Structure 1
Amino acid sequence: MPDQTLHGKVAIVTGANTGIGAAIARELASRGAIVVVNYPFPQLADQAKQVVDSLATASTSVCIEADLSTTTGPQKLVDETVRLYGWVDILVNNAGLAINKPFAEQTLDDWDKLVNLNARGVFLLTQAVLPHLPQPPSPKDTIEVPGEGEVKTERDYGRIVNIVSISARAAPPLQTIYAGTKGMVDSFTRVWAKELPRKYNCTVNAVSPGPTMTEGFAAAGEEFMTAMRPVMEQTPVGDRMARPEEIAFAVGFLCEPRASWINGLHLVASGGLFID
């Protein structure tokens, strides 16, 4: 088991009932974090509960339903988390939706679905979390150290990690709206990394996965995997897709207390498929 470096930290992971989000929840819990497993719809409650049951911190973690594509879902998720735990230390903006179509066939309904969840949901949820992140240290935060007297203590930073996508920068065909929403979150990350740390005592970073073998990809069938073959063959590290736990490890690293000087990073976890 990893060192319990996140023991007692409260982490919200959105869209954590499956795929990369579930892997992130398990990674943070393995380091001791209390995890709020977010899921969007009532019919996914059992799936989310199974994820919670699989966590190393299952006895203290919970699942919370909140549809982040709505204007009220993000605040609902934060309010319920704060009601249960009192604060938030880590926010992982993972929930997202992709629709792949030729540009000429993409519709306003596609636009609303992707923009409302992938971009607006991240915007509203992060705003709602800010007041509940760890407060900056004050001159009164001191301890008595034998032989040294009163010594100022340092309190942990909060962590905001946005899950973006290599699509934001690699610009693949068929992903006009999806790549655009992920590009928006990429820009959010850079702006927030400059604006938020001193005021809200946090760091802001992003992880961009490449193609990852989630349940959704696995269910896509042999034809899809055949279409993915050239992409996998171009990946320098190996002729395969990523495993969800490999993406989750990158998130866990950014949430560590020792990552307190890493801010504004766009960490691309794609096996070298995309190098900016």
Structure 2
Amino acid sequence: MADETATSRAAAVKTLASKIAVVSGSNSGIGYAIAQELASRGASVVINYPFPELKDASEAAAAALETPGLAVCADISTTDGPMELIKATVTHFGTVDIIVNNAALAVNMPFEEQTLEHWDKLVNLNCRGTFLLTQAALPHLRRGGRIVNIVSISARAAPPLQSIYAGTKGMVESLTRVWAKELPPKYGCTVNAVSPGPTMTEGFRAAGEKAMKVLGPTIESTPAGKRMGEPEEIAYAVGFLCEERARWVNGEQLFVNGGLYVD
């Protein structure tokens, strides 16, 4: 009984209360799991969705958070979208404490079949979007802020069929390392990355049996368990990096993939 009471009290502590968190691409998947994790710790979270037709579902998702949040339509792959997201956040909340660069797309196909259209789509969202959103947020970032970039083991493990995607995630990894040295002295923040492996999102579930069969050998070789990761497991790592007690963690890439890739 005493243990249960202690656990309940610990769960009730809102360690990120009064913090404002912006999570790009957070109306579903890993992004929404991150939003739920941060909101459970007391943060007010801005849910970001890219297209107007997602408005109702995204607003419902923001309202359903443990700490109700705000839903903002902004396409992070455009040159204006990142600034629109930050402007809406600051207009509503007045400031920013946490930026999670999560919005991204992947293309899986032979190198010979990947086109300039694929290149533009992935580079504009995965790389330029991360660059512009962080840049837009910095003037409003309070001291003690957190920047967390969602990378991927693809940047290190070099899987076939992911030339552009792996390259974009490698760039975000490099941005993380540079920013971790450049930005904290100016803004009093930390900059880190979280690197998931295959994760059971809605997209993977919708991909069907054929896609899961292709992933079979990868899943079988994961040391911590023969399964895919869960979005909540990725989100927990992000939550840890956003805590005050993680203030001395800077410039790290936290691998959350069951040991599928070990640095």
Residue 45 of structure 1: SS of its match in structure 2? helix
Structure possessing the higher radius of gyration over alpha carbons: 1
Structure-1 residue corresponding to 2:99? 91
Alignment partners' CA distance in 2, 1:55 and 1:79: 22
1:37-70 CA-partner distances (Å, limit 9, x unpaired)? 0111011112212321221011xx1100000100
Q: Does 1:122 align with 2:130?
A: yes
Q: What is the TM-score with the length of structure 1 in the denominator?
A: 0.90
Structure-2 residue corresponding to 1:195? 182
Alignment partners' CA distance in 2, 1:42 and 1:172: 34
Alignment partners' CA distance in 2, 1:226 and 1:2: 41
1:231-267 CA-partner distances (Å, limit 9, x unpaired)? 1110000010000000000000000010000000000
Kindly indicate whether the alpha-carbon contact (under 8 Å) linking 2:74 and 2:84 is maintained by their aligned counterparts in 1: yes
Structure-1 residue corresponding to 2:165? 178
Residue 98 of structure 1: SS of its match in structure 2? coil
Deviation at 1:22, TM superposition (A): 0.3
Q: Does 1:272 align with 2:243?
A: no
Partner letter of residue 158 of structure 1?
A: G
Structure-2 residue corresponding to 1:22? 32
Residue 204 of structure 1: SS of its match in structure 2? strand
Structure-2 residue corresponding to 1:226? 213
Structure-1 residue corresponding to 2:74? 66
Structure-2 residue corresponding to 1:138? none
1:143-183 CA-partner distances (Å, limit 9, x unpaired)? xxxxxxxxxxxxxx100000000001111001000000000
Sequence identity percentage: 66
Kindly indicate whether the alpha-carbon contact (under 8 Å) linking 1:93 and 1:162 is maintained by their aligned counterparts in 2: yes
Deviation at 1:124, TM superposition (A): 0.5
Partner letter of residue 223 of structure 2?
A: P
Alignment partners' CA distance in 1, 2:64 and 2:203: 20
Stretches of structure 1 that go unaligned for 5 or more consecutive residues are 136-156
Within 5 Å, give how 1:1-276 maps onto structure 2. Answer: 1=11, 3-58=13-68, 61-135=69-143, 157-276=144-263
Q: What is the number of residues matched between the two proteins? A: 253
Residue 207 of structure 2: SS of its match in structure 1? coil
Residue 110 of structure 1: SS of its match in structure 2? helix
Residue 89 of structure 1: SS of its match in structure 2? strand
Kindly indicate whether the alpha-carbon contact (under 8 Å) linking 2:63 and 2:70 is maintained by their aligned counterparts in 1: no
Partner letter of residue 191 of structure 1?
A: V
Alignment partners' CA distance in 1, 2:252 and 2:27: 26
Residue 206 of structure 1: SS of its match in structure 2? strand
Structure-1 residue corresponding to 2:7? none
Stretches of structure 2 that go unaligned for 5 or more consecutive residues are 1-10
Residue 25 of structure 1: SS of its match in structure 2? helix
Alignment partners' CA distance in 2, 1:50 and 1:159: 26
Alignment partners' CA distance in 2, 1:117 and 1:224: 24
Q: What is the TM-score with the length of structure 2 in the denominator?
A: 0.95
